[in-house]
Structure 1
Amino acid sequence: MIVTNANTVPAIATASGTQIRVLLDTTGEGQGRMSLAMETLKPGQQVAPHWHTHLEEIYYILKGQGRMEIGDEAREVGIGDVILIPVNETHCLYNTGDDDLVLLCTVSPPWYPEDSHPVEEGER
Structure 2
Amino acid sequence: MKRTEYSQVEPFTTKDGSTIRELMHPNNIGSQKQSLAEATVPVGCKTLEHRHHEVEEIYHITAGTGLMTLGNDVFEVSAGDTILIDPGVGHKIENTGEGELKILCCCSPAYSHEDTELLE
The TM-score, its normalising length taken from structure 2, stands at 0.92
Q: Quote the RMSD (CA, aligned, Å).
A: 1.5
The yes-or-no answer on 1:64 pairing with 2:64 is yes
Structure 2 partner of 1:95: 95
* Identity in percent: 36
Structure 2 partner of 1:46: 46
- Structure 1: which 5+ runs fail to align? none
Q: Could you say if the C-alpha distance between residues 17 and 91 of structure 1 is closer, same or farther in structure 2, counting changes exceeding 3 Å?
A: closer
- How far residue 45 of structure 1 moved from its aligned partner, in angstroms, is 1.1
Runs of 4+ in 1 over 2 A off after TM superposition: 13-18, 26-29
Conserved? CA contact 1:18–1:45, under 8 Å = no
Distance 2:89 2:16 in 1: 19
- How far residue 44 of structure 1 moved from its aligned partner, in angstroms, is 1.1
- Structure 2: which 5+ runs fail to align? none
- How far residue 46 of structure 1 moved from its aligned partner, in angstroms, is 1.1
The TM-score, its normalising length taken from structure 1, stands at 0.89
Aligned residues: 119
Q: Could you say if the C-alpha distance between residues 14 and 113 of structure 1 is closer, same or farther in structure 2, counting changes exceeding 3 Å?
A: closer
Distance 1:40 1:27 in 2: 21
